Amino acid sequence: MGLRERVSLSVAIFAIFFGCPPATESQPLPQQPTDEMKRLAVECEQGKAESCVKLGQMYEKGQGVAKDEKRAVELYQRACDGQNPRGCTHLGAMFQQGLGVAQDDKRAAELYQRACDSGDAFGCNNLGVRYEKGQGVAKDEKRAVELYQRACDAGDAFGCNNVAGMYLGGRGVARDPKRAIEIYQQSCDLGGSIGCRTLGWLYKEGSVVPKDDKQAVAFYQRACDAGDTRGCIFLAHMHRDGRGLTKDDKQAVALYQRACDAGDTRGCSFLADMYSDGRGLTKDNKRAVELLQRACEAGDASGCNKLAFMYYRGAGVKKNQQRVLGLWQLACEMGEGAGCSNLAGFYSRGWLWWDMSKFVSGESKDSALASKLYRRAVELYQLGCESGDALNCRSLGDMYREGSGVNKDPNRAAQLFGQACDLGLADACDAFKKLKVQP
């Protein structure tokens, strides 16, 4: 993970919406020539703690040298002992993750405290995360806010992002959306791509600030330009949907490709959609399957669910019922509501829509399991909907309309369809108009 970490925006649902990995050192060291490594090694031996830190980063990340986490720990320890607070922060991160040393949350917190007391903003931010999560220290959200603010005041964009999330969610401090927006702006101006991306989402969603798609586009662009792949993906959505700018499928494809090439498998998954639909490029189901396979294997639950439907439809691959079920199961276990719902549908009926001939009464049906899966789907859709995801609101509305996993409730379904419609999902608007709401 590296030196710094990011926690979810204080409301847990944001973490699922953004789906971002823990943040790392913002500017990773480039490959270093051998003579530079020798110079750093000599300086480290001479007691220059900063050189020990740089050399430790190289060993930790395998940059210019074979990766050796144990050696990195030794170098960070030497730097920390030499009164270099950044070395203590790096060492704390190694203990936190169990890299090159036995995992130890308490020791990590002690090292972050030492770094923070010596003025290292990153150490303060990471210590704040420990207090927010209650890892290595007693959980104390008020203390977390203080530490995040201290990091932010020292110019750390991640500290700003974290304290803004606490103000937005009212955790450890009185809820103050206006103050949260101000601090997210500060984070963005400090070069924090997550702060820029969060502002983009808030302007797109419109519950904290007035909805403004053009502002959303501007902030997503800043995040993407700063190398934030999720910012690029959200910007691609705006181009794809024509929100805040002229609709441009080709530009959306280019942005999804950029994110995918940078290793963000969510970008690969959305790029697969464009190939499958033939939007912005030539339709190619085989290429879509390749991209979804890549995303699924990398742990992207949505990619697994989409891949299941390629097998379900026989698009780019041969139809395969067992593969469909296996992928839905995997997606469900990863936290994808649609995977749980689709799998529940199979177990409640005992067959797949495209292969009814394989239905044998009592062989595949499992009502108890179906109910359990439907309940899980409802939980996941609810969480996603609360985070502002229109598709999750739409899917949850379908469940209330059909009475799948919940009591049938047309009024609740209409409410959810309306919410999804307000979030920009066109077919949800149609569903809202068609549904006859009971008085």
The proportion of the chain whose per-residue pLDDT surpasses 70, expressed as a percent, equals 86
Query: pLDDT tens digits, residue range 35-52?
Result: 888 899 999 999 999 999
Query: pLDDT tens digits, residue range 66-90?
Result: 999 999 999 999 999 999 999 999 9
Query: pLDDT tens digits, residue range 172-219?
Result: 999 999 999 999 999 999 999 999 999 999 999 888 899 999 999 999
Using the predicted structure, report yes or no on whether residue 247 has a pLDDT greater than 60.
Answer: yes
The type of residue at 209 is V
Using the predicted structure, report yes or no on whether residue 12 has a pLDDT greater than 80.
Answer: no
In CATH, what class is 388-439? mainly alpha
The type of residue at 154 is A
The answer to whether 77 and 54 have CB atoms below 8 angstroms apart is no
pLDDT of res. 435: 77
CATH number of this structure's domain 1-136, picked from the four choices 3.40.50.720, 3.20.20.140, 1.25.40.10, 1.10.3720.10: 1.25.40.10
Distance between CA atoms of residues 432 and 149, nearest Å: 44
Spans of all domains in the chain = 1-136, 299-381, 388-439
Q: Phi and psi of 21, rounded to 5°?
A: -75, 160
pLDDT of res. 364: 55
Tokens of 360: 């044998």
Distance between CA atoms of residues 79 and 314, nearest Å: 58
Q: Which of 1-5, 134-138, 142-146, 429-433 has the lowest mean pLDDT?
A: 1-5
Fold match, 299-381 / 388-439: yes
From 206, 190, 201, select the one nearest 121 (Cα to Cα): 190
pTM for this model (two decimals): 0.77
Using the predicted structure, report yes or no on whether residue 422 has a pLDDT greater than 50.
Answer: yes
From 231, 134, 136, 142, select the one nearest 188 (Cα to Cα): 231
CATH topology of domain 299-381: 1.25.40
The type of residue at 40 is L
Name the band, by pLDDT with cuts 50, 70 and 90, for residue 418: confident
* Arithmetic mean of pLDDT, 364-375: 73
Query: pLDDT: is 422 or 105 the higher one?
Result: 105
Q: Which of 162-176, 231-245, 332-346 has the lowest mean pLDDT?
A: 332-346
pLDDT of res. 360: 36
The proportion of the chain whose per-residue pLDDT surpasses 90, expressed as a percent, equals 65
